[in-house]
């Protein structure tokens, strides 16, 4: 703010000089104008002041210093010039300055002070910043000059009659005032006037008194203006000023004193509180002077040392610490001086010569006194020692258990070579060693109504074991731990309430320890120990250590049991899989082979050092129908794993070591866990070479039979035609015509039988392309009219309806349905053919009027050799393959066929796909 104000003033002055506007050079105030050099100094000082807040280091510091040096140089030159020691007049060097207005000596001196203040930085001398003093000096010069102007005392602003120079100008005085204040305020917390902003009582008093001091002179000046203007006499003015001074002084003193007194009371109250706290504090508090002599202690301190307060106040710190702590005390003192607080454990000497362990929290107060709070840590030390002992015991116990667990882990690691019994035996043996027992047993099972699932004992002779019996149960003393879920031990088994029924011949057990084996809070079995060797009974410690053993081994036992169960399951599964005639491969989610049976292994290639892309050592040479290798990702099992779909492929081959191509059928499906996630896949591979051979033979046989049947048919047809052309009589001609028709029907039957055989062997193939269903329907209708010109057939369809179909086969289907409709429909009623768009399919329907089909007929209609009751009773010729073949053909196209019957009509409807988009 001050810098901006001053810079603005300086700039206006300079403009005044350059533009030769006299009014501007003195800012319109009375008195002399501000010299140009003063304006320059102002600007430089402003820059220095502006840069100062960041005056830590580097560039800003550099700017501050150079500006301050420049100001100093100008000021010194001005002073020297005034003293007549040089001819260098700076102002004359400035163009446009005709009249020599030089910087007044006190102005120059004030700027020299300001520059020195800037240069002195933050250095301190005896706690005072010289810079602050320089700034105050400049402020004093400016204030004197201003007061001089206000009270019209020329000597104050430097226009002494005996001095040949003009004084400090009004703008210069304001600028110096502003810059001086600016300097002090810019870093007020650390400056000499910091007290003005202090939050304490001094700050309050300073602010009030300072405000009063500042406010008084302008008031007084105003009052003294009256006589000058002739309003009242000087004596009246002076009297009023005096009264004002007394009044203001009184108010300020009273209010400040009140505030100070209130603060003092609060301070004393607070001190009393602190005193009370100190006295009542449970921890001993010692305060010593810088000479280490106690000056204050509380009651707890007296109790701790065993000395009275007065006696303690005569001691020094060294008197109550142990001799070996004295050198360390010096060390602590050095650290405390550096401002740290010290927390240490020491021994403190009591009056009776004993030492008390204490924790001392010491610091040096701002006034140089020592303050120490001691805390008796005897109890804590005792607890620490006990804890350390407990930890040591724990450690040794843990080490013992670790060793034991290692033994158990080793046994489990040997699984499945070792079994659950071995694990139990290891555990029992370890427990026996831990407790020095003569006998030990480990058992799984808690149901008192049946023997233990597993029982292992150690230390018993065969005779003793025989006396226990082959199947002990968790009842009586053996069932106690399992039923209560807690360890229990007795010094004599005879004391157990239910012990009366013990079978004779039992080992002479005296004492017993039984500990439940728990897994996830569920008792799964019990550890028994009997006849402790080196004591009369088992101790609580024995119970604890065996309980910990039981806790640690429970999970292991569970694992072993599960392992055993799963192992059995796996072995069982492997046996089943191995005995399957089909090959089976099971993989996990990473395509790693998890199981594989003998059958599939025999289909693999014996490459010893090769692996498949997933690192499995068994390699299969899978080929497609054209004997090309199938990419790994297209294998059915991988496809099932990736997509979760069941895949069936009957067109694959497995290359064999002898070069044969083994035809296979592979069915693969995903393996999912309980949450439905895919965790692997399984494939069943069937060698279909025999099936293929059978199919091939059957196909060949059918072809041969069909071929051989057609040859005589050809003879019949040719000769029937020939006979018909030779015979003129009507009767024989009709007979010949029947022969011809019979031959043609026989031909159709052969055709149907061949199709049916192929259908059954899944070998009926169609060759679809985009064809017009409407055109096919028209052609079929035309053909029907050739043999049956009377037939009424109506076609309802759009002009074209493209389908993806084998034209000949669809014509075959349609002809079959149309022929059925004409055969079975009510004579002389029309047959309707409808072709409708049923996205994404096209539906073709053949509808006739006539007897409805029974539900039974509708169900069986599409099966082989099926004929309706009506057909049989009406003796309509046919062998019942037509609809079976229609269904097969429609399905081979990806369509579906169905029959509807009602309201005196029968409708056969089938669908065909539309051609693919591209």
Partner 1 sequence: MGTSGLRVLVADDDPDVLHDVSCAFESMGHHVCGATSGDELITRLGDEEPFDLIVTDISMPWMSGLQAMHSSRYAGLQTPVIVMTALRDAEIPDQVEALGRNALLLRKPFGMIELENAVDVLMLADQERRLAR
Positions that interact with partner 1 (CB under 8 A): 703, 706-722, 725, 740, 743, 747, 754, 765
63 versus 779: smaller Cβ distance to partner 1: 779
Q: How far is the CB of 857 from partner 1 (least distance, A)?
A: 31
DSSP designation for 690: H
Q: How far is the CB of 749 from partner 1 (least distance, A)?
A: 12
Contacts of 40 (CB under 8 A, 6+ apart): 10, 14, 74
394 versus 737: smaller Cβ distance to partner 1: 737
* Residue 670 neighbours by CB distance under 10 Å: 22
Are 437 and 529 within 8 A, CB to CB? yes
Q: How far is the CB of 754 from partner 1 (least distance, A)?
A: 7
Q: Cα angle vertex 405, ends 401, 409, to 5°?
A: 175
Q: How far is the CB of 715 from partner 1 (least distance, A)?
A: 5
Q: Which of 207, 202, 208 is nearest to 248 (CA)?
A: 208
Residue 579 backbone class (left: φ over 0; alpha: ψ -120 to 50; beta: rest): alpha
61 versus 751: smaller Cβ distance to partner 1: 751
The Cα 66–Cα 55 span in angstroms is 13
Say if strands 593-596 and 583-588 run parallel, antiparallel, or are unpaired. antiparallel
Cα dihedral across residues 33, 36, 38, 43: positive or negative: positive
404 versus 743: smaller Cβ distance to partner 1: 743
Q: How far is the CB of 609 from partner 1 (least distance, A)?
A: 44
The Cα 791–Cα 831 span in angstroms is 8
SS (H, E, C) 729-758: CHHHHHHHHHHHHHHHHHHHHHHHHHHHHH
* Residue 549 neighbours by CB distance under 10 Å: 23
Please state the φ and ψ torsions of residue 866, each to the nearest 5 degrees.
-95, 130
479 versus 742: smaller Cβ distance to partner 1: 742
Q: How far is the CB of 703 from partner 1 (least distance, A)?
A: 7
Q: Which of 45, 33, 32 is nearest to 75 (CA)?
A: 45
150 versus 753: smaller Cβ distance to partner 1: 753
715 versus 762: smaller Cβ distance to partner 1: 715
Task: Extract the tokens encoding 555.
Answer: 């999970």
The count of residues in the chain is 918
The Cα 36–Cα 28 span in angstroms is 16
Q: How far is the CB of 701 from partner 1 (least distance, A)?
A: 14
396 versus 715: smaller Cβ distance to partner 1: 715
Q: Which of 668, 663, 666 is nearest to 685 (CA)?
A: 666
Q: Which of 519, 572, 511, 575 is nearest to 542 (CA)?
A: 511
Q: How far is the CB of 894 from partner 1 (least distance, A)?
A: 20
254 versus 703: smaller Cβ distance to partner 1: 703
Task: Extract the tokens encoding 35.
Answer: 């010299």
The whole-angstrom distance between residue 292's C-alpha and the CA centroid of its chain comes to 58
533 versus 765: smaller Cβ distance to partner 1: 765
The Cα 828–Cα 815 span in angstroms is 19
Q: How far is the CB of 718 from partner 1 (least distance, A)?
A: 5
683 versus 881: smaller Cβ distance to partner 1: 881
Q: How far is the CB of 720 from partner 1 (least distance, A)?
A: 7
The Cα 820–Cα 876 span in angstroms is 10
Q: How far is the CB of 696 from partner 1 (least distance, A)?
A: 14
């Amino acid at each position: 703010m001050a810098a901006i104000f001053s810079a603005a003033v300086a700039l206006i002055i300079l403009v005044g000089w350059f533009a030769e506007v006299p009014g501007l050079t003195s800012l319109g105030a009375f008195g002399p104008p501000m010299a140009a050099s003063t304006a320059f100094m102002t600007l430089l000082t402003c820059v220095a002041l502006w840069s100062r807040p960041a005056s830590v280091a580097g560039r800003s510091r550099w700017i501050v210093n150079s500006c301050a040096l420049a100001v100093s140089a100008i000021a010194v030159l001005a002073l020297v010039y005034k003293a007549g020691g040089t001819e260098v007049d700076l102002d004359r060097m400035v163009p446009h300055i005709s009249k020599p207005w030089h910087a007044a000596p006190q102005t120059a001196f004030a700027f020299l002070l300001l520059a020195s203040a800037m240069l002195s930085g933050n250095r301190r001398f005896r706690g005072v910043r010289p810079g602050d003093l320089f700034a105050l000096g400049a402020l004093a010069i400016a204030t004197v000059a201003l007061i001089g102007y206000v009270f019209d005392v020329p000597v104050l602003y430097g226009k002494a009659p005996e001095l040949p120079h003009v004084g400090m100008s009004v703008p210069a005085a304001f600028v110096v005032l502003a810059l001086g204040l600016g300097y002090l305020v810019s870093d007020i917390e650390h400056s000499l006037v910091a007290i003005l902003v202090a939050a304490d009582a001094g700050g309050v008093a300073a602010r009030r008194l300072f405000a009063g001091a500042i406010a008084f002179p302008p008031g007084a000046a105003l009052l003294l203006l009256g006589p000058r203007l002739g309003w009242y006499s000087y004596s009246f003015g002076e009297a009023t000023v005096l009264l004002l001074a007394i009044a203001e002084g009184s108010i300020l003193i009273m209010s400040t004193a009140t505030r100070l007194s209130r603060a003092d009371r609060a301070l004393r109250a607070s001190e009393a509180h602190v005193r009370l706290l100190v006295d009542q504090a449970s921890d001993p508090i010692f305060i010593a002077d810088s000479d280490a002599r106690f000056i204050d202690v509380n009651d707890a301190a007296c109790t701790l040392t065993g000395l009275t307060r007065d006696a303690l106040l005569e001691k020094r710190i060294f008197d109550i610490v142990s001799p070996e702590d004295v050198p360390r005390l010096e060390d602590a003192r050095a650290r405390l001086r550096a401002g740290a607080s010290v927390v240490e454990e020491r021994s403190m000497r009591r009056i009776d010569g004993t030492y008390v362990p204490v924790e001392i929290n010491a610091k040096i107060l701002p006034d140089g006194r020592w303050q120490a709070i001691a805390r008796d840590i005897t109890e804590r030390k005792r607890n620490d020692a006990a804890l350390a002992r407990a930890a040591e015991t724990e450690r040794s116990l843990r080490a013992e258990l670790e060793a034991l667990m290692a033994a158990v882990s080793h046994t489990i690691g040997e699984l499945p070579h070792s079994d659950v019994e071995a694990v139990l035996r290891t555990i029992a043996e370890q427990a026996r060693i831990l407790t020095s027992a003569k006998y030990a047993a480990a058992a799984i099972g808690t149901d008192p109504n049946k023997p233990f699932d597993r029982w292992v004992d150690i230390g018993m002779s065969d005779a003793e074991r025989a006396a226990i019996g082959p199947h002990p149960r968790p009842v009586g003393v053996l069932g106690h731990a399992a039923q209560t879920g807690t360890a229990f031990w007795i010094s004599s088994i005879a004391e157990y309430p239910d012990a009366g029924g013990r079978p004779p011949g039992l080992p002479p057990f005296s004492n017993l320890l039984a500990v439940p084996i728990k897994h996830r809070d569920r008792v799964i079995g019990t550890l028994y120990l009997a006849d402790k060797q080196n004591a009369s009974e088992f101790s609580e410690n024995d119970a604890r250590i065996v309980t910990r053993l039981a806790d640690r081994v429970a999970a292991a036992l569970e694992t072993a049991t599960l392992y055993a169960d799963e192992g059995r399951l796996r072995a069982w599964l492997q046996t089943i899989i191995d005995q399957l005639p089909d090959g089976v491969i099971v993989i996990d989610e990473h395509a790693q082979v998890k199981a594989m049976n003998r059958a599939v292994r025999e289909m693999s290639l014996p490459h010893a050092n090769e692996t498949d892309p997933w690192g499995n050592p068994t390699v299969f040479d899978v080929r497609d129908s054209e004997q090309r290798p199938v990419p790994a990702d297209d294998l059915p099992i991988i496809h099932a794993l990736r997509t979760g779909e069941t895949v069936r492929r009957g067109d694959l081959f497995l290359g064999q070591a002898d070069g044969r191509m083994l035809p296979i059928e592979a069915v693969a499906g995903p393996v999912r866990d309980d949450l439905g996630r895919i965790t692997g896949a399984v494939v069943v591979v069937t060698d279909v070479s025999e099936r293929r051979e059978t199919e091939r033979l059957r196909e060949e046989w059918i072809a041969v039979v069909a071929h051989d049947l057609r040859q005589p048919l050809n003879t019949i047809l040719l000769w029937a035609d020939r006979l018909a052309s030779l015979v003129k009589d009507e009767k024989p001609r009709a007979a010949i015509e029947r022969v011809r028709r019979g031959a043609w029907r026989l031909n159709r039957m052969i055709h149907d039988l061949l199709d049916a055989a192929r259908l059954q062997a899944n070998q009926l193939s169609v060759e679809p392309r985009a064809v017009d269903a409407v055109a096919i329907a028209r052609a079929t209708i035309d053909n029907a009219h050739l043999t049956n010109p009377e037939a009424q057939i109506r076609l309802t369809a759009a002009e074209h309806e493209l389908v993806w179909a084998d034209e000949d086969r669809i014509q075959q289907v349609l002809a079959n349905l149309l022929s059925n409709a004409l055969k079975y429909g009510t004579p002389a009623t029309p047959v309707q053919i409808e072709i409708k768009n049923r996205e994404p399919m096209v539906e073709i329907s053949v509808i006739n009027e006539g007897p409805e089909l029974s539900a039974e007929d509708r169900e069986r209609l599409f099966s082989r050799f099926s004929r309706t009751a009506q057909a049989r009773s009406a003796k309509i010729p046919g062998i019942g393959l037509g609809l079976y073949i229609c269904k097969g053909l429609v399905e081979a196209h990806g369509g579906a066929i169905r029959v509807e019957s009602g309201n005196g009509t029968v409708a056969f409807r089938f669908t065909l796909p539309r051609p693919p988009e591209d």
